[in-house]
Amino acid sequence: MTARNGRPARAGAVSAQAARERTPGAGGAPDAVSGPAHDDTVAGVVRQWRAVHPDLDTAPMEIIGRINRCAALFQQAEDAPLRREGLSRPEFDLLGALRRTGHELTPSELARETFSSGAAVTKRLKQLTERGLVERRGDPRDRRVAHVRLTDAGRALVDGVLPEQLAYERAVLSGLDSEGQGELAALLGELLGRLEGRPGALRI
């Protein structure tokens, strides 16, 4: 992304300019959609909404819609290395939380680490325990509390699959160069940080 003077343009400045050009009455074409040069599903959706409600600012759809669409496509494609091991992404995230923290976690802590509900974690732990990948022990001071840890088989599985999974994810993102991936990671990190720092942000 380069400015007219030959220096790299700041992503925020370009985004702001694009937003002004998209806004009806701001001097830009009302149906111009920002984003990549090629068309995509969300661009078509945005154009349709602008035709129905030309008075509304549909710019948020161009970001949120694309994030949701990418997430849906990633889920449809599944994760090949995990699939070969008979693991779902949420199950691998749970195993990964135990491996990267390096110590036992309670089901409640696992729920926080993996952004999952308690019921979902309970179900996954049952399946992983039956496969011999995790084991639970009770807390001698409180029988209502359980502590979960990886078995040797679970640790070996995570360490074996992780390099393959990262290679698979690199292939998925290979359409973006390293600079583009860095910019995208930074922007998503900024957005996520703001949302995580505002507990009520998603309920406004």
Print pLDDT tens along the chain (204 aa). 444 444 444 344 334 344 334 433 333 333 444 444 468 999 999 999 999 999 999 999 999 999 999 988 887 777 788 888 999 999 999 999 999 999 999 999 999 999 999 999 999 999 999 999 999 998 788 778 899 999 999 999 999 999 998 998 898 899 999 999 999 999 999 999 998 886 555 554
Q: What percent of the chain has pLDDT over 90?
A: 59
C-alpha torsion angle, residues 125, 165, 163, 119 (rounded to 10): -20
* Backbone φ and ψ of 192, nearest 5°: -65, -40
The answer to whether the predicted template modeling score (pTM) of the entire model surpasses 0.75 is: no
Q: Which residues of 160-171 are buried (b: 16+ CB within 10 A; e: fewer)?
A: ebbeebeebeee
Q: What is the DSSP letter of 135?
A: E
What angle separates helix 89-101 from helix 118-130, to the nearest 10 degrees?
Answer: 80
